[in-house]
Amino acid sequence: MSLASDIELRSGRRAWLSEQSGAIGLAGIVIIFWIVFASWAPGFVSPFNLFAISRTLAIDIVIGFSTMVVLATGGMNLAIGAIGVCSVMLAGYLMQKLGVPYPLALTVALLLGALLGWANGVAIVRSGVNSFIITLASASLYTGGMLILSKAVIYNALPPAIAAFGRMRFGFVSPLLIVALAIGAALVVLFRFTALGREILAAGANARAAQLSGVPVSRAIIVAHTLSGLLAAAAGLMLLSRLGAAMPSIGEDWLLPSFLAPVLGGALLSGGSISVVGAMIGALLVTTIRSGLLIMQVGNFWLLLFLGMMLLLAVLLDRYRTVYAERRSLGRRA
């Protein structure tokens, strides 16, 4: 083994160990919250609430993944809620108004999500404008277009199989959670074992250096946003199954949890480093706190305040991780 390969292997091992230690620490915090809520609100661990948590967790995980894949490039996607609701409303229209079979309608809705994400990626690459501005503008554009075309109509006469899947359970586990875990497994394969995943991470770590090394940075950014749109559509369709209806209000409250899950899980806002497992545990923490506070009948305003404080803390931790990584890099160079 060459010296360069040995250094790369050791660096990869250190990164993996750091990721695992962060995930273990976050899991410890989740366990503490479960103990607290189970002690103060016995209904928290009831079979019904555990099933409700599993359904909500599944959607929170996929919402977090949708933001995570863009954070990997050092960008942002503020349009995931808009993409999700556009996909949901299209699926509802196809099934209720046109009588399209639900497997085909859901597939078309997923393709729409990927298309809207691709449009964001192309706009960012071609214009050179920051992804924050592009996706902020596209969020209004997509939502406004959806409201104009759908007239904010709720589609609630959907095939029974849609709602039946959302109500299905294996013990206290929803099949939606199994879908979310399968998506997570696919993302682990993408980012750990494929050239495309490594290109996306390289584009986020140092776009200039990656480009000089032959990495197609523009393509990586477009692919990341396309994947983000696809995942946003998937989260929307999972919520559609849970609600049994396509509503134009879907996605309005996604922004905060979409950042909380991956950032708490170890993703760097500057890009180049993510953790699929960490994002799932981060989503579990968010879902746990939300469910526990609701069981304890804490007002929704307090819930928003608490989640906002968590996001602020996550951003401060992200800044600490970035500074620490830079200091270690300078120390090795010295």
Which residue's structure tokens are 């095939």? 159
Whole-number pLDDT of residue 149: 92
Q: What pLDDT is stored for residue 15 in this prediction?
A: 47
Classified as helix, coil or strand, 254 is coil
Look at residue 334 in the predicted model and tell me its pLDDT: 52
What are the pLDDT digits (tens) for 108-166? Answer: 999 999 999 999 999 999 999 999 999 999 999 999 999 999 998 999 999 999 999 99
Q: What is 263-300 written as a DSSP string? A: HHTT--TTSS---HHHHHHHHHHHHHHHHHHHHTT--H
Sign of the Cα torsion 176, 178, 184, 187 reads: negative
What mean pLDDT comes out for the span 224-243? 97
Q: What pLDDT shows up at residue 12?
A: 44
Half-sphere exposure of 121 (CA within 13 A, CB side): 26
Query: CA neighbours within 13 Å on the CB side: how many for 327?
Result: 6
Give pTM, 2 decimals: 0.89
How far is residue 162's CA from residue 241's CA, in Å, rounded to a whole number? 5
At 259, which amino acid appears? F
List, in order of start, the domains of the chain with CATH numbers: 26-326 (1.10.3470)
| pLDDT at residue 29 is higher than 90 | no
- Maximum pairwise Cα distance, the chain: 67
Report residue 101: phi and psi, to 5°: -55, 140
Give pLDDT, residue 63. 97
For residue 331, how many other CB atoms are within 10 A of its CB?
A: 8
SS3 state at 311: helix
Residue 108 CA to residue 92 CA, distance in Å, equals 11
Per-residue pLDDT reduced to its tens digit, 94-105: 999 999 999 999
